[in-house]
Amino acid sequence: MADLNELAGMLNEIKDEIKSELEKLDTSKSVFEYRKKIFDSKTGMVGSLMREMGKIPNEMKAEYGRRVNDMKSWAQTAFEQMDEKFKAQEMKLKYESEKLDVTMPAVKRKHGYLHPNTLIRNQIVDIFGSMGFDIYEGTEIETDHYNFTALNTPDDHPARDMQDTFYLSDRFLLRTQTSAGQIHVMEAKKPPIKIISPGKVFRSDDDATHSPMFSQMEGLVVDKGITLCDLKGMLDEFVKKIFGDGTGTRLRPSYFPFTEPSVEVDVSCFQCHGKGCKLCKGTGWIEVLGAGVVNKKVLEGCGIDSDEYSGFAFGIGIERIAMLKYGINNIKLLFESDLRVLEQIRE
């Protein structure tokens, strides 16, 4: 290298070559390859320039270095611009090639659902659990004593005709009511008692509106000074939580051997709000549960002093609530495991 002019000429030539070469490139990959080739420290047009340093006279070395570096950074910038341009184009093409019809169906992992009975049961347990009720689950097979006699329904009692009982032996039967659990709890535990007892119950009834097996939830409170007003207060809370805020209750006289007074509890129709509709058969009210003040004979039979303690009990039909809430029209559907039913009712 004789002088700086010669150097300038050479660098310009390289520049021109790169310029013309760049114009021929059309992909980011070709830019990358070309750049690699140019910058190769041994063979590259630009990369090898520094190797020439040895041949440069000392007084020119500094200037040579500066100009080569300028050249390098010019080339870098040119490549980067080129690269960016191609990358942007290529990304655009890639995106275009991946265009989707977003209205096509989702890919999902199939999910299963809890049985409507379990959903209702959980809702009821949540409500009463927060009020301090324990959950007691009795057995499906009971003795005549716990299912009837201890509930003030002795052998000759006409109330036995109210429920067609499945018998397994003289002594054992399929419980006809979760009330059987009341006695077990009161025998095992002294007041204060607050329990709900969910479970399957059985009655010899099989037609369009009856299933020989269904589910009930029994509730029992025994403590000092418990009255009918407390029953009403608690049920008011319960129906608001399960059927919605505007729902009210109405008590009317009824009869269960183990409560006195006994009441049927109607809720104001949560669909028409009392105006009268198909659901409430035009009355504005829907019968949902039976309840009453625990008969003192029942308390005494369990060794609880009825002068000191009193209580109330109530029984809810789980399917009844499920059918009302979800509008299921046939109780049998709940026991057929038809997936079109099971996968339809969700929390």
Partner 1 sequence: MLVPLSWLKDYVDIDVSVDELEEKLFSCGFEVEDKYEVGHDISKVVVGLVKECKPIPETHLHLCKVDAGEAGELQICCGADNVRAGGKYPLALIGASVYATAKDHVTVEGVMTIGQGKLRGYDSYGMLCSGVELGLTEDMYEGAGYNGLLVLPEDAIVGADVKPIVGLDDWIFDIAITANRPDCQSIFGIAREVAAVLGTKLHEPSLDFTETEVKKEGFVVNVEAPDICPRYIGHYVYDVKIEKSPAWMRRRLALIGQTPISNLVDITNYILNELGQPMHAFDYAYLEGNQINVRRASDGEKIVTLDEKELTLTSSNLVICDGVKPVALAGIMGGLNSEILDSTGEVLFEAAKFTRDNIRKSSRALGKSSDSSARFSKGVDEYTTVMAMKRALHLVEELGCGKVSSTHVDTNTGNSIEPFKLKVSVEKVNGVLGITVPTDEILRILGGLGFAPELKGDELTLMVPAYREDMESYQDVAEEVIRMYGYDHVIPSFMPTAKVTLGGYDLKQRTELKIKHALCSAGASEGIHYSFFSPASLDLLRLKEDAPERTAIRLLNPINEDLSLMRTTLAPQMIQAMQRNQKRGILEGRIYEVGNIFVPKSLPLEEYPEELQTLCIGCFGEDESFFTIKGVVETVADTLGIKFEYETSEKTFLHPYRTARIMCGDEEIGYLGQVMYEIIDELDMRVDSYIAELSLYKLEKYYDRQQVFKPLPKFQEEKRDLCFVMNKNITCAQIEKAIRDSNDHISSVELFDVYEGMQLGDKKSMAFSVVYTPGDEEFKAETIDGFVDDLLAVLKEKYDVSLRS
- Tell me the backbone φ, ψ of residue 156, rounded to 5 degrees: -90, 10
- For partner 1, the closer of residues 65 and 261 by Cβ is 261
Angle between helices 318-326 and 228-243 (to 10 degrees): 40
Contact present, 239 and 267 (Cβ < 8 Å):
yes
Write out the two tokens for 4: 């700086």
Q: Largest alpha-carbon pair distance within the chain?
A: 132
# residues contacting partner 1 (CB under 8 A): 84
Name the minimum Å distance from CB 196 to partner 1.
8
Helix/strand/coil (H/E/C) assignment for every residue in 128-154: HHHCCCEECCCCCEEEHHHHCHHHCCC
- Residue 108 CA to residue 111 CA, distance in Å, equals 9
- For partner 1, the closer of residues 47 and 311 by Cβ is 311
- For partner 1, the closer of residues 88 and 339 by Cβ is 339
Give the residues across from 289 on adjacent strands.
Answer: 265, 316
Contact present, 136 and 185 (Cβ < 8 Å):
yes
Give the residues across from 311 on adjacent strands.
Answer: 222
- Residue 115 CA to residue 336 CA, distance in Å, equals 11
- Within residues 278-307, the interface with partner 1 by CB under 8 A covers 293, 295-296
Which of 37, 72, 189, 200 binds partner 1 (CB under 8 A)? It is: 200
- For partner 1, the closer of residues 253 and 303 by Cβ is 253
Among candidates 276, 247, 275, 252, which has minimal Cα distance to 263? 252
Contact code string over 259-278 relative to partner 1, x by CB under 8 A: -xxxx---------------
Which of 17, 206, 305, 308 binds partner 1 (CB under 8 A)? It is: 206
- 243 interacts with partner 1 by CB under 8 A: no
Name the minimum Å distance from CB 101 to partner 1.
25
- Within residues 71-130, the interface with partner 1 by CB under 8 A covers 109-115, 117-118, 122, 125, 128-130
Which of 158, 245, 278, 303 binds partner 1 (CB under 8 A)? It is: 158
- Within residues 211-240, the interface with partner 1 by CB under 8 A covers 212-213, 221, 223-230, 232-234, 236-237
Name the minimum Å distance from CB 204 to partner 1.
6
Which range in 20-28, 49-57, 254-262, 321-329 contacts partner 1 by CB under 8 A? 254-262
